[in-house]
């Protein structure tokens, strides 16, 4: 096996692949360089009806009762502790159509502000659930990036148990 | 190592065909594929973006070259390395208990589970056999002797 020749051929294949990859995605590359995908790839900055918020704004919305919090974690994690009054809507159930996520099915007005959260950190569940909710017709969705970890660590109110109908 | 040219040709068609089809699905939605990569929580969003853009085209190129018989062994090596990486990634993800779609076939992707792992292992066996064999399969492009 001539490894030098193999290396050159591999580099050539990579070059052959890279040229069309870059040329066919110039717009995406431009948006990436502008930072549009810093927070999410499928819900980039400027997506209508979707915003990423921090703890301060989430806390303010909670205090004023101005938004419905939606917990995208599995049901057992929700039961162990969640934002008081939050709706449990596990991503897996929504993704597999076990639970319908339309405004009619959830009996929530489509224009009601929602704050979706998951575990926090590198958790992607809130982003993926937000995409489903947006496609279902909800028009004002905020993703609380810090998630349950930050909410709990900063001493915000906690509710335990699963007593939703 | 198999010296059976027909078997090698079949392996080239299967492995190359699977990768060409998978690549075509992912090229249609590079951001969706990049999000699948990010969901594995191994690389950050920025690196997932670039992998999502380039990897499908690399799969397409290697798959086409494999079937055409151009740089066959190098293409088989690249595909084998990709498959080995996918297998390790799926195994680690299963051990970490992360529930993700594999992202292998765009919107038609299945869950990253044991069945997928076995499927990739079978493809790795075939691509490895192609790489290791000294016999020439029936490529589309005849080499001058």
Which pLDDT belongs to residue A25? 96
Q: Chain A: which residues have CB within 8 Å of chain B?
A: 1, 6, 9-10, 12-14, 16-18, 20-22, 24-25, 28-29, 32, 37-42, 92, 122, 124, 128
Going by C-alpha positions, the residue among A150, A130, A165 that lies closest to residue A48 is: A130
Q: B139 pLDDT band (50/70/90 cuts)?
A: low
CA nearest to A33 within chain B: B46
Q: pLDDT digit string (tens) for A130-149?
A: 999 999 999 999 999 899 99
- A54/A146 Cα distance (integer angstroms): 7
The model's confidence at residue B140, banded by pLDDT at 50, 70 and 90, is: low
Chain A residues with beta carbon closer than 8 angstroms to that of B38: 41, 124
Q: What residues contact residue A74 under an 8 Å CB cut-off, 6+ apart?
A: A90, A92
Query: What is the model's pLDDT at position A165?
Result: 46
Q: Say yes or no to pLDDT of B98 above 80.
A: no
Residue of A nearest to B110 (CA): A96
Q: State the pTM of this model.
A: 0.80
Exposure string of A102-141, with b = 16+ CB inside 10 Å and e = fewer, is ebeebebeeeeebbbbbbbeebbbbbbbbbbbbebebbbb
Q: Decide if A25 and B30 are in contact by the 8 Å CB cutoff.
A: yes
Per residue in A12-61, pLDDT (tens digit) is 999 999 999 999 999 999 999 999 998 888 888 888 899 999 999 999 99
Cα distance between residue A93 and residue B98, in whole Å: 15
CA A95 to chain centre: 13
Question: Is a pLDDT exceeding 60 seen at residue B145?
Answer: no
Answer yes or no: do A6 and B53 touch at CB < 8 A: no
Could you report the predicted ipTM of this complex, rounded to two decimals?
Answer: 0.84
| Residue in chain B lying closest to A16 (CA) | B61
Per residue in B33-52, pLDDT (tens digit) is: 998 888 887 888 899 999 99
Short-list A67, A74, A128, CA closest to A101: A128
Q: At what angle do helices B45-68 and A3-23 cross, to 10 degrees?
A: 120
Instruction: Pick the closest to residue A85 from A149, A158, A134 (CA basis).
Output: A158
User: Closest approach of chain A CAs to the CA of B118, in angstroms?
Assistant: 24
Q: CB–CB of B34/A29 below 8 Å?
A: no
Give residue-wise pLDDT tens across range B9-37. 999 999 999 999 999 999 999 998 998 88
């Amino acid at each position: 096996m001539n490894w030098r020749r193999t290396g050159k051929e591999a580099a050539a294949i990579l070059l052959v692949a890279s040229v069309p990859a870059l040329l066919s995605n110039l717009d995406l590359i431009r948006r990436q360089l502008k930072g549009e995908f810093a927070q999410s790839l499928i819900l980039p900055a400027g997506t209508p009806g979707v915003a990423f918020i921090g703890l301060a704004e989430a806390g303010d919305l909670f205090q004023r009762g101005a938004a419905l919090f939606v917990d995208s974690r599995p049901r057992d994690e929700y039961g162990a502790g969640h934002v008081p009054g939050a709706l449990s809507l596990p991503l897996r159930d929504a993704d597999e159509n076990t639970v319908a996520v339309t405004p009619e099915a959830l009996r929530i007005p489509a224009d009601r502000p929602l704050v979706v959260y998951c575990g926090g950190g590198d958790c992607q569940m809130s982003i993926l659930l937000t995409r489903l909710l947006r496609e279902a017709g909800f028009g004002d969705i905020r993703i609380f990036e810090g998630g349950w970890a930050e909410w709990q660590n900063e001493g915000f109110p906690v509710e335990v148990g699963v007593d939703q109908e | 190592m198999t010296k059976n040219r027909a078997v090698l040709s079949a392996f080239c068609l299967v492995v190359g065909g699977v990768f060409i089809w998978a690549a075509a699905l992912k090229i249609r939605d590079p951001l969706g594929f990049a999000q699948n990569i990010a969901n594995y929580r191994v690389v950050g969003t920025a690196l997932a973006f670039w992998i999502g853009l380039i990897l499908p085209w690399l799969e397409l190129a290697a798959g086409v070259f494999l079937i055409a018989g151009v740089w066959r062994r190098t293409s088989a090596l690249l595909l084998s390395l990709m498959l080995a990486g996918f297998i390790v990634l799926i195994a680690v993800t299963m051990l970490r208990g992360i529930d993700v779609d594999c992202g292998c076939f765009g919107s038609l992707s299945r869950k990253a589970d044991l069945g997928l792992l076995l499927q990739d292992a079978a493809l790795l066996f075939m691509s490895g056999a192609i790489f290791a064999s000294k016999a020439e399969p029936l490529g589309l492009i005849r080499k001058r002797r």
